[in-house]
Amino acid sequence: MAHETPDADRAARVIAENVYAAFCRRATMPNRPLEEQTILARLVEAIRPQIGGGAPGAIVEAANAALSAWEQRDPEIRGPRVVAVSPIDAAVTVG
């Protein structure tokens, strides 16, 4: 029997995927495909608590904290930061 993913979990995952995609388009980073799932999981963990009750600014802060932590672990990675997230359609703007 399949279980539905709760809306907040699904929303956090979509936002995390959009953050990751936007970051990678403008980032300086080595090609390490195995890291994708790790950073996506960390982005979801950071963003999930902000879904529903948090303001879009809290989602932005959470995403940026996860990106900063990733960059601190790997000095070869440098990229933009999230400046806006739409909780309605999960659109992400980086700058």
Q: How confident is the model at residue 1 (pLDDT cuts 50, 70, 90)?
A: very low
Tell me what pLDDT residue 4 has: 55
Backbone angles phi, psi at 28, to 5 degrees: -100, 115
**pLDDT tens track for 21-60:** 999 999 998 888 788 999 999 999 999 999 987 677 999 9
Q: What is the pTM of this model?
A: 0.90
Please provide the average confidence, as pLDDT, over all residues in the chain: 90
DSSP secondary structure letters along the chain: ---PPPHHHHHHHHHHHHHHHHHHHH-B----TTHHHHHHHHHHHHHGGGTTTS-HHHHHHHHHHHHHHHHHH-TT-B---EEEE-TTT--EEE-
Task: Report d(CA 90, CA 78) in Å as an integer.
Answer: 23
